[in-house]
Structure 1
Amino acid sequence: MHNDVDRCVRAVQSKDARFDGWFFTAVTTTRIYCRPSCPVVPPKPQNMTFYPSAAAAQQAGFRACKRCRPDASPGSPRWNERADLAARAVRLIADGVVDREGVPGLGARLGYSTRQIERQLVAELGAGPLALARAQRAQTARLLIETTPLPMGEVAFAAGFASIRAFNDTVREVFGLSPSELRARAAGRTRSAPATTGTVSLRLPYRAPLFPDNLFGHLAATGVPGTEEWREGAYRCTMRLPNGHGIATLRPADGHIGCRLALTDLRDLAAAVSRCRRLLDLDADPEAVDGLLAGDPLLAPLVERAPGRRVPHTVDPAEFALRAVLGQQVSTASARTLAARLVTAHGTPVEDPEGGLTHLFPAPGDLAALDPETLAMPRTRRRTFTALAAALASAELDLGPGSDWQRAREQLAALPGVGPWTVETIAMRALGDPDAFTATDLGVRLAAGALGLPTTPAALTRRSRAWQPWRAYAVQHLWATGDHAINRLPA
């Protein structure tokens, strides 16, 4: 979009927040870059230059605006709508792969040469993987500087910088302030400091509108005791992270999602934030989704009643896939009970001073090593569960942010006992494919019949083509026609 100069200028002049994250505006006279909705007086059009990413603006020598904080914009929806090389690379960079494994590690995960990845990312985002990772380190550093009392040396290490000098130079270059000045400026905006150095509180932005009922209702209603809970108006969950583990507390608020992260290793901050954003589908473009679905006269009333529905995803794709198998042909309550037994028996214990979370969900390798006879489930499902656990543990099956959605579908379908419902449920919730469609789901078929839509899977799939590429969102609207706890915020 950044190449459409006239459209970008109009968005900046109207301070249109819908375009935050789609592009960034650099002002040639001040050498500052902003989000489109920046509250300052818009610059003259001839002084505007547009970039597809914050990294590209930084690489061109612009520093971040102190007013609109463009590094905290919602992410571009393009990267969660697609499964091509660029989108997969961006998702992996957001998960911290470049910081942990370098660009060669990114290439190994994607199956492409570093030169191919560099060329593709520069073409799409105006910056290569190192520049994108550097921009993310700068954002992580700002969060740690402003929300924790950590010494600056520890901030630099936790944010992924190789040296104090690189940390100081990057912060000054990107934000126009030294780390100490950035902390002092933040201290003037807030009165309270975080309780512990391992805890970070922040706001997760999104594009309005956002309808929280089914989003948080689904997560709370299907939550596994010990690893998830709804407490005092917030959804809480444990997370297995690259360097340790964490507990996320996510609360719907006016214009943002309140997020509190308790991490055993602050190097995991960027990955934890990325996973929380994916969990809540915060980088979606609700206007595009609702605009297309509302074009169907049978769905239009549903969209009008609840604009901005999101698809609840997951912080751990492998965990969700295993839970999807546990949920085959059983009620939500039964699936939760089965999962809770596994958590108690085989999960990793954690401490949660703030609530009732007790474990991490068992890792695929631990579950693959179990004697199948000890699993309290029908023999056929036991076979499916152990085969899936083994495929995930061996890394033969990749469901992570850099996965190839079509290949993952094919691999899942090849496992014993994995049918279309399981494949599409995992595609929707774990892979994050916005076009996943559970045509065989009973709730979807009942809702379809009530609306006058076809009810057989084949006919409904044909009819659903009009909803592409947003069929996963159509599923949320169809489910919402039923009286189920997943459709409402817990009391």
Structure 2
Amino acid sequence: MHEDFDSCFRAMQSKDARFDGWFVTAVITTGIYCRPSCPARSPLARNVAFYPTAAAAQQAGFRACKRCRPDASPGSPEWDSRQDLVARAMRLIADGVVDREGVAGLASRLNYSARQLERHLVAEVGAGPLALARASRAQTARLLIETTAMTYSDVAFAAGFSSIRQFNDTVRSVFACTPTELRVRATGRGTQLSAFDSGTPGSLTFRLSFRSPFAPESLFGHLAATGVPGCEEVRAGAYRRTLRLPNANGIVSLRPLGDHVSCRLVLQDLRDLPTAIARCRRLLDLDADPEAFTAGLSNDPALSGVVANSPGRRIPRTVDGAEMAVRVVLGQQVSTKAARTHASRLVAQHGTPIDDPDGGLSRVFPSPQELQSLDPEVLAMPRARRAALVALVGALADGTVELDVGADCRRARHHLAELSGIGPWSVELIAMRALGDPDAFPATDMGVVKGAAALGLPVSPAALVAHSRRWQPWRSYAVQYLWATQDHPINRWPQEEVACN
């Protein structure tokens, strides 16, 4: 979009917050870049340049606006929904792969050379992987400086900087002020700094932004109703779950609060902070563009009414693609309650213990490697489903099936479909919730069929798939509206605290 100067300029002049995250506005005369909705007076057209990312603006020598804080806007929905090389790379960079594995590691995951990857990223987003990772570190650092009382050395460590000097230089370059000046300005605005004890696991609270409209009821209701006892629960009006992260484990509490989602993280290793935030945003589908899918679905008279009644429904995704795939197989042809029971037994037997002084969480969902020791004979389910689970776990463990944020969706779908016992329903659900495919459509899902019947749509799989083509490329969002027609616990929030216990 940044290449369409007239459209970007009109969005900037109208202060349209819907375009925050799509591009940034750089003012040549001041050397500052802003989000499109920045309340400052609009500059003249001859003094403006548009960039696709904050990293590209920083690379060009611009510094972030202190008023609108463009780095805090929602992420571009392009990287959340597209499945091409650049989008996959952007998701992996946000997940912290460059900080952990370097550019070579990122390129290897994508099966490209580092030089090819650099060329593609620079051509489309105006910056290479190192610059994009640097911008992400700067954003995390600002967030910690302005919202916590952490020491600056702890901030540098948690944000992924290799040294205090690198941290200080980056903050000065990106924000045109020192870390101390950033914190003083934040406290001057009335921001309360969260306490932090560097001698205990990090406990930090953040605000997760999103594009309006946002309908949290079915999103949080689904996560709560399908929550696995031991690693998920509802407590004090928040959905809580354990997290398996690159360096250690953690616990997150998420609560929708009108214009943002409150996110409280307790981490065993602060280096996991950027990754944890990125995965929570993905879990809640917070970088989606509701204007786009609402407009697309509203073109069908059969859906227009339910979309208008509750615009902005999101897809309940996952923090771990492999976990979601295992849970989908456990849920084949059984009720939500039975699927939770099967999953809770796996968690109790194979999950990593975790301490939760604030609630009842006790385990981290087991990885595919940990599940390889699973004895299928102890599973109280049909033999065919046991075989399907064993095949899936083996394929996930040896890398045949990849479901991380940088996975190739087409390749993953192909390899999933090749596994015995993994049919179209499972492939579509995994694509929707684990891979983030906005156009997945499980036509035989009971909730989808009942929702279609309630709206007067055809219910046979072939006819329903044919009708659903008018919803492309947003069929995953159509599923949320079909599910929402039913009186089911997945559509209720808040739920009772016992819901996941």
Q: TM-score, normalised by structure 2?
A: 0.96
Out of 374, 377, 386, the position equivalent to 2:378 is 374
Out of 336, 353, 367, the position equivalent to 1:332 is 336
C-alpha change, 1:277 and 1:419, in structure 2 (3 Å) is: same
2:185 is matched with which residue?
185
Match of 2:434, SS?
helix
Is the counterpart of residue 59 in structure 1 residue 63 in structure 2?
no
Match of 2:277, SS?
helix
CA distance in 1, matches of 2:373, 2:147: 41
2:164 is matched with which residue?
164
1:30 is matched with which residue?
30
Match of 1:239, SS?
strand
Q: How many angstroms does 1:114 deviate by?
A: 1.1
The 8 Å contact of residues 147 and 193 in structure 2, kept in 1 or not, is answered as: no
Is the counterpart of residue 201 in structure 1 residue 205 in structure 2?
yes
Q: How many angstroms does 1:124 deviate by?
A: 1.2
Match of 2:301, SS?
coil
The 8 Å contact of residues 321 and 430 in structure 1, kept in 2 or not, is answered as: yes
**How do residues 230-309 of structure 1 correspond to structure 2 at under 5 angstroms?**
230-309=234-313
Q: How many angstroms does 1:356 deviate by?
A: 1.3
Q: How many angstroms does 1:445 deviate by?
A: 1.4
Question: Tell me, which stretches of 5 or more residues in structure 1 are unaligned?
Answer: none
Match of 1:437, SS?
coil
The 8 Å contact of residues 148 and 196 in structure 1, kept in 2 or not, is answered as: no
**How do residues 36-435 of structure 1 correspond to structure 2 at under 5 angstroms?**
36-188=36-188, 189-197=190-198, 198-435=202-439
Amino acid at match of 1:166: Q
Deviations 1:227-262 (A, max 9, x none): 111112211111100011111111111211111111
The 8 Å contact of residues 147 and 191 in structure 2, kept in 1 or not, is answered as: no
Q: How many angstroms does 1:195 deviate by?
A: 4.7
Q: How many angstroms does 1:5 deviate by?
A: 1.2
The 8 Å contact of residues 293 and 477 in structure 2, kept in 1 or not, is answered as: yes
Out of 472, 486, 489, the position equivalent to 2:490 is 486
Amino acid at match of 2:356: D
Q: How many angstroms does 1:157 deviate by?
A: 2.2
CA distance in 2, matches of 1:464, 1:357: 39
CA distance in 1, matches of 2:186, 2:394: 48
Moved over 3 A (4+): none
CA distance in 1, matches of 2:163, 2:192: 31
1:473 is matched with which residue?
477
Amino acid at match of 2:9: V
Between 442-451 and 339-348, report the one with greater CA deviation.
442-451
Q: TM-score, normalised by structure 1?
A: 0.98
CA distance in 2, matches of 1:395, 1:42: 51
Amino acid at match of 1:87: A
Deviations 1:188-219 (A, max 9, x none): 33235325441221111111000011110000
Match of 1:200, SS?
strand
Amino acid at match of 1:286: P
Between 368-377 and 134-143, report the one with greater CA deviation.
368-377
What's the C-alpha RMSD, in Å, of the aligned pairs?
A: 1.2
Match of 1:11, SS?
helix
The 8 Å contact of residues 12 and 37 in structure 2, kept in 1 or not, is answered as: yes
C-alpha change, 1:57 and 1:192, in structure 2 (3 Å) is: closer
Q: How many angstroms does 1:483 deviate by?
A: 0.7
Amino acid at match of 1:390: G
Out of 455, 465, 477, the position equivalent to 1:461 is 465
The 8 Å contact of residues 146 and 191 in structure 2, kept in 1 or not, is answered as: no
CA distance in 1, matches of 2:161, 2:37: 30
The 8 Å contact of residues 219 and 235 in structure 1, kept in 2 or not, is answered as: yes
Amino acid at match of 1:191: Q
CA distance in 2, matches of 1:67, 1:323: 44
Deviations 1:154-189 (A, max 9, x none): 322221112221111100111111112222222333
CA distance in 1, matches of 2:323, 2:334: 18
Q: What is the number of residues matched between the two proteins?
A: 491
Question: Tell me, which stretches of 5 or more residues in structure 2 are unaligned?
Answer: 496-501
Match of 2:312, SS?
coil
CA distance in 1, matches of 2:197, 2:151: 13
Amino acid at match of 2:380: A
Between 189-198 and 112-121, report the one with greater CA deviation.
189-198
